[in-house]
Structure 1
């Protein structure tokens, strides 16, 4: 628990019962924290109107009534939530009534946007029918998404109704269809509008007369008795034959999440967290601010996105739990996806335990796999930091590849993606559908808030540019935001894959080096998967890692990779280019560096590197021609001279210190700018991240602050406010500034 929360809960537990509240000294003794630290947090709580000061000496602090009320705990338990239903009870009852209507149910059609919970509603209704013993566990429940075969109507018909031997080339034997498997039970057809007219007609005869034929049969009629449920994201009267549409006696429209009432959304959030607790086989402690954020944040991906965001938060919290064991997994603000955290309330409530539903014996979940991996890495002697990094990669892969959307409304349904790719000429699509799907999903994950350069496209053929723009337009038409100019990366990918390949050779090693815990590894992993080999290598540079350690790691990797043709180094920012030059001088290896790396650039470089006749210098020149350096990075110009002022969050000293530095220290240096920021003392990474961002935008001369920096940030000169009040401090300051002004 963070210190601010500790102070808040101390007041709630010990000061609220007494009208007199607590003094700073009493709270300090109670929490075993420094008195000045406690006073700082108490004054912050007063400022945000969660705490009131009582008149008198010494000053006493007391929680205000509204904040105290919000601190009451609420508890979930399996007994209170047995198989909690999701959705409007009227919808569930109406669907259940259609399913159980004698003698063999009424055909049911569900309509609603992607992610509104159509599939989940069907599963709940079937589960409820079985629980009420109205539907036997021995009766089949078969589900099928028609969009999976939408591009091949014959195969779709065969999958649904079965195939007669010899019906088409490759049909070497009779094959049973889903209708036959569902005989006597329930058949759920998602995206039913994907059925071709002939398939809809056959389905109509099945519902109307109970007969059908396999694909390729002309005389033999087969019989089946099924309860049919269909679902569609389109308007039924526009995509279904009138004859079939009339046979659906019950039609339900599921509203998007934004149209549901608050209590319905609360039920959804509660049920999803209970399910994750069951998967973990651990309690989950949930701050009520967090719960309220999930209830209120904009969620354009509907129920699918909501569940994915809950899974995202739980996976992040579970990773922390593996390395900081506690009786329960606690969800914190930093675990939330950005879209959820954006509506975080300023007041805080106490965590509430969600009791877990135990998972079945031997059931594999993402949490059990993370736990298994943690034990495996620990047994192999991996350091704590290395284990955390590897587990984060594993969790991120799960979140991106899982069946539900991840932290943003970032995943396209299969049928939507097929619609998008239909904007491409078929020759461009041959052999690269998987690569395009992966790129599109990754761009959607970035979202429209992404702020990074994209490669220019002047050198590309017009057909690649036009096709990429059409794809991007089709994606945004699905209400899935993409970064500005994302189409350019799609165009480069199309171009890279469309070029003819020469015979592969050992080639030039391509090494990616970027800042962050796993950025380089993730790019290399995707590119290697798309190219079908392991010729792209990566070195990640965590922000907390000293520059000397990063330099040595990159140097070791380059020496290991060098095979006589040099090494192409792809980096995220221009400042890393000097690292390649230094290593080249140190070891006599031809290292050529390109900045502003993108997935398209990596794929283009790797494909060129595999063909004969290339060395690192030629390859770098070719890649740079295709991906020109942004103008801003070509001009070193005169970097901005910067002094940073950093204070802990909640101190209120930032403005005062900024003004003092400007008046007493930098006033005579008109070219020096003062940049300010707050940081979280409980998270040293936040300090390093601020310094990193400043260093990328200017020449950071020194940092002034009220608290000493973390040890990992010792490479930047630091001056404490107290030191600068002394003559020796001023002298050291002047020497530092004059030495580095250039």
Structure 2
């Protein structure tokens, strides 16, 4: 079919004038038509939304409209964020040929099921999959819950005489919805009989009116169902099977903070337009609405805002502006006339930040995160047209964050920094704007971020847990807060210090005031009511100790009585050193806090002069304050020392190697909490040993190749790990073989053999397994002795695969040259054949 001239003009413009202004004369010349005819076509295309028109100049200029048609789902808050996959599924049900797919929307009352259903209908109109005159028919099945026959009549229509009062044939809602959408709300109230009638319609597009037994009616209807109940218990299985698409809308309380803010602004804006007045909302009221739980979800929130606006409108004589909230010293205006286009442009530019470029591998993760912080800030504050940092939405979000975290910061003695607040608020907004793929990319990078200071971690976790974000974004926000705490609060000491006292707020008061005087976060407080049980408080402290890293030790300041006896109750849950001081006072807390800020070790407090404070000091030395490897051999410390010497040559200097008596280690493992081994990388022993949660390596299994030193890879490079294992193999081979050699020095000959084995590994690019290495040590040391006394193997047998053996023979002669010189021997070809046989399964 020949294209219409209008379509040809549009195609030419798209292909050749997409980025240029043009006039009717330009088109007239190109298509050899009159200028007024060209103008007619261009004005038609303008009316269709295909072109933009500038009639403020002469001649009138046109331009191709590159904007995508507006997506009606953009009205649904979260459509491009947390609910993107849900909306995509809705679109798929509309576009699926030939007549879409039935859809059921689940969710509690007030989450927006009806609103979403209306948007699905609008989307079908916009995409022209239904005619412009197609209807959206709504039936609430709950209205007919006690009268299924009446619902059947409403849905399917009825014949004259079908029931009392049926005076004429009447069409039902299905007839009205023909070619369009039927939305059945509260569909769980649909009777089994009506469900069966509906799935007949879904299968064959036919149904019968109530009272009709012969004639069929036909309708092409798209179905949307909604329910607050479990469809598996309220709907027939045969009916459920005919509804392939299912979505669930979340409660308001499960929405992200930024989405809640958008909902609040949207509803306030709607009311401002309805009453044609500017609305001032106090920060206090806005924060309350943001934090409030609404059982009726978004619907209840909308109604509450309507009521607040109605009260404000009634109580204000100047109807051009109304005020919401009691405290009006801080807040923001909602203006019905302000466009949000600039904000949308800003959010788009923010979402297009090139994350891959920011997180290049050649810079550290901290540097990359700093660059991301700078970039977000630049995008938010860098535009002269739209400054997000001055926007009502950001002010509201920032004040929400202040309200949540200021009590936490206040108790630590730290200052709540404006930059810190802004960075948290901006990031909450940022992770809500970017795509899920971008969030996943960021998370993969953020997981590389490390923080050693456990007190900083504790503070970051407390801040994070006070903020409400979607579950899918929680880890990302936590990593960001860890980064910000490390950046802004660098002086937080690493040692954990607790003040534990009788009284409802006594410990909290001293901890808070001391932290403020020291100007940093030193003390955590535990208050014990006078009537409270000491055992309950000890359980609380033990749980706290288990949740933190006590590698650097723990300082406890207590007041009197029963609390002084907690030493034995908690020391098993502390990995590092533990010191307990009684008779706590503000002066004592300040003195100890100063020492902690000066990074004094826990042992220092045991040596301090506390005479002026009249305190008693209890001190317990912990297992280790560093990452450690424990060596424990049943045969005694002699072998353990040799193992330690080998490990020390290859392990990172930061790793401490501890030697324990085997029975003593068993006692510690049995009696103490396993948290005491929290810093232990692994245990090496000559006997089977078990500690819950700790890798216990049996040296015999290591030598036999049944276990590896993989656990130590983090603390030594791969080559060192291999050399270390080889030395351990050699150590135990020497111990076992020294009695078997008749006159050679086992240690020396094994060192010489080790060099030969290294040459084979390098040449053939293999790793000789431990058990084979032991076999070779024993065989080759014995071979050297045999040759030296004239008992070498001289018989030669032609090996299969002679070419492989010839190569092996040539390199072997070279590899053994040093041994031949040292021991003044010549190795017969038969011995090489035997070595080849031993190697054969590993190398060839």
TM over 0.5: no
Q: TM-score, normalised by structure 1?
A: 0.34
Look at both structures and tell me which one has the larger radius of gyration over its CA atoms: 2
Query: Which is bigger in relative contact order (C-alpha 8 A, separation at least 6)?
Result: 1
